[in-house]
Structure 1
Amino acid sequence: MLAIIQEELAKYEVLQCRTTEKLIKRRSTRQKSPLCYVSIEETFDVVKSTHISTGHVGRDRMLKELQNKYANIPIKDVELFNDNRSEFTTQVITELKEVWPKQTLVHGKPRHPQKNSALHSGINWSPYSTMFGCEARVGLTTSSLPMEVNARMETEEDLLAVTPISPVSSVENHRVAERIKEIKRRRHEAADAHTSQAERMVKRSRVDLRDGEQGDNVAVPVPLVDRERGDPRNILGVIIDRREDTDQYKIAVKACILSGLYSRNQFDLCPQRLLNIDNMNTEKTVSLRSAVISQSASGGQGFTRCDCAGAQKCSTRRCKCLKAGLLCNSRCYNSLNCCNK
């Protein structure tokens, strides 16, 4: 019986800082980061503080951070905390809508400076740990020391008492060599994970985006900076050529051929062929903005205004509006009458 008790006690050790003592998992060396044991009463506060310090992230990121500091935080406690948090958030939102019915809720993911130390789903590591082989540390709050020990530290001697620094030795040189191997391993795994993620994205895009053929009708999205507010968001065109080597397409619209080549994800295929190549003007090539302007009912992006004066205002080609084939608008000479309205 005594042997069993001694075997169980050998699994633990005590970390002491001044008058504070914490039960931790026994370490093979004093330089290894301590993993603390927390009581049932402390579990909620520990999980909550970790949730706040990591930038209100999800279960997996919280669990990884907790496992770096504590030895007995089960995954069920983290899941329970996240579930209760979701229910509490839903209840708060419902009450806010009852108090202020006209309010608008904006959904989105907040941006936090901790993103370089957060777990990246594509590479299965955080960007910082992939680069340097260890997790990011900013002060004692991100160390593996418990909060009670950090709060009682007042001098450098207190820090050295819980984290002794030994002189450089063959053991330390071995640790440096192991760190270099760890960095190379993580970078290699990150590169493989990125390659695998790219292959999955290409495979998914080939399923969702079928290849276009010559004569297919397409809808090319027009960026907001290239169109007027009243212009359509897409311009209809026809595929007139496809480069097999680069998998890019040449597209023509009614007024011209669009300059440059388009990849498959830059346009949508129309289910029917409303236009054919014979309806297209293939004699000139212009930019997308110029093509939109040629089909715009309001003159396209921007506006044309004149500042003509005199008795015969806007009756000659000197008028910018008349020269552009447009009627004068309210921005011309304070909306006074003219010959081009």
Structure 2
Amino acid sequence: MSHYYYFKKYELLQIGSVSSIVLKRSSESDDLVYMVPVEGYFEKLLEAHNQTGHGRRDKMLYYMKQQWRIPRSAYAVTCQECDLETHINCGTLADQDTFFCSLCSKEKHIHDVQEDCHSRQKLAVNKMVTFSTEEFPELAAGDCITLAVSTVDRASIDFSRILGVVLDKQNEVYQIGTKAGIMKGWSSRPEIQKSGASMITLLDVRRDNFLTLREAAVAQSKCGGQGYKKCNCKVTKEQCSTKRCSCFKANMKCGSRCHNSNPCANKDC
């Protein structure tokens, strides 16, 4: 394009020490329409966009036509992700040559947040696994352990843990054996506490009997386990000396709750 074209279309306006290029006017009374340099596109477009209530191209053109002149190519930019032409102010300029529309920008932000959350979760999991490995070292078959018993499965005067021994390990859970039999359920490592002394061995485990945690607690209890037993045997010569007595059948001594605290053959005194 020749210099003659520019001379016919534009003129130089000097105001003090500031020089600006404006559209050539037919008369001195015409409004000045400034040509905006490339480095000023963003500022002018942002002002027009905000002044028109986040308007699109046509509203912005109408607002600017009597003040500035910006090429139409500056209004629409192609998104690098979805190839959608959108307003330059309605997206994100990642770098000089990369532009994302508002939808792709939000999607990218959500993806980045998800990736960050995933990496932080993996970090927390690794930290938890490391702590668990240090706090609960692996047990081997034959190790003497104690197993916690909840308050609903034991008497109030019973010990809070029962003695056992590790029989087997599969999928990070352990099979526990006691003198009364083998536990039906398998226990995880945090439920088990290794004993400092070997008070029970693999040879002490009764292999032909399977029992629950409550039954194991009852077997090691000195008072019959959770709840209490009592009998209502009638006063006879053989009172509480046969298996018809619930206390005698359970290998327990009669107490003050039995048969109105009357004496019997199953009492120490």
TM-score (norm 1): 0.44
Ranked by relative contact order (alpha carbons within 8 Å, sequence separation 6 or more), the top structure is 1
Decide which of 188, 193, 204 is 2:120's aligned counterpart.
193
Q: Which amino acid aligns with 1:205?
A: S
Q: What does residue range 322-341 of structure 1 map to in structure 2 within 5 Å?
A: 322-341=248-267
Q: Which amino acid aligns with 2:195?
A: C
Counterpart for residue 211 of structure 1: 138
Separation in 2 of the partners of 1:187 and 1:339? 75
| Deviation, structure 1 residue 321 | 2.0
Q: SS of 2:123's equivalent?
A: helix
| Deviation, structure 1 residue 328 | 2.2
The farther-off stretch of 289-298 and 273-282 is 273-282
Separation in 2 of the partners of 1:204 and 1:320? 49
Q: What does residue range 35-50 of structure 1 map to in structure 2 within 5 Å?
A: none
1:297 partnered with 2:222: yes
Q: SS of 2:229's equivalent?
A: coil
Decide which of 239, 245, 260 is 1:319's aligned counterpart.
245
Counterpart for residue 179 of structure 2: 254
Change in Cα spacing, 1:315 to 1:240, as seen in structure 2 (3 Å) is closer
Q: SS of 2:122's equivalent?
A: helix
Q: Which amino acid aligns with 2:256?
A: S
Q: SS of 1:199's equivalent?
A: helix
Q: Which amino acid aligns with 1:195?
A: K
Q: What does residue range 122-141 of structure 1 map to in structure 2 within 5 Å?
A: none
CA-to-aligned-CA distance 1:206-233 (integer Å, 9 cap, x gap): 1222111111111111111111122112
Separation in 1 of the partners of 2:121 and 2:207? 42
Q: Which amino acid aligns with 1:261?
A: W
Q: SS of 1:317's equivalent?
A: coil
Change in Cα spacing, 1:335 to 1:187, as seen in structure 2 (3 Å) is farther
Counterpart for residue 15 of structure 2: none
CA-to-aligned-CA distance 1:76-112 (integer Å, 9 cap, x gap): xxxxxxxxxxxxxxxxxxxxxxxxxxxxxxxxxxxxx
Structure number with the higher helix fraction is 1
Question: Which is greater in Rg?
Answer: 2
| Deviation, structure 1 residue 269 | 1.5
Q: Which amino acid aligns with 2:185?
A: G
| Deviation, structure 1 residue 179 | 6.0
Identity among equivalent positions (%) equals: 31
Q: Which amino acid aligns with 1:317?
A: K
Separation in 2 of the partners of 1:217 and 1:225? 24
Structure number with the higher strand fraction is 2
CA-to-aligned-CA distance 1:243-302 (integer Å, 9 cap, x gap): 2xx122111111111112122211111234332211221221101110111111100111
| Deviation, structure 1 residue 303 | 0.9
Q: SS of 2:141's equivalent?
A: coil
| Deviation, structure 1 residue 332 | 2.8
Change in Cα spacing, 1:304 to 1:272, as seen in structure 2 (3 Å) is closer
Q: What does residue range 135-150 of structure 1 map to in structure 2 within 5 Å?
A: none
1:265 partnered with 2:190: yes
| Deviation, structure 1 residue 187 | 4.3
CA-to-aligned-CA distance 1:108-132 (integer Å, 9 cap, x gap): xxxxxxxxxxxxxxxxxxxxxxxxx
Change in Cα spacing, 1:307 to 1:186, as seen in structure 2 (3 Å) is farther
Q: What does residue range 67-78 of structure 1 map to in structure 2 within 5 Å?
A: none
Decide which of 184, 189, 202 is 1:277's aligned counterpart.
202
Separation in 2 of the partners of 1:314 and 1:269? 41
Counterpart for residue 225 of structure 1: 152
Q: Which amino acid aligns with 1:206?
A: T
Q: SS of 1:206's equivalent?
A: helix
Separation in 2 of the partners of 1:281 and 1:301? 22
Q: What does residue range 4-153 of structure 1 map to in structure 2 within 5 Å?
A: none
CA-to-aligned-CA distance 1:165-188 (integer Å, 9 cap, x gap): xxxxx96xx878766665554444
TM-score (norm 2): 0.54
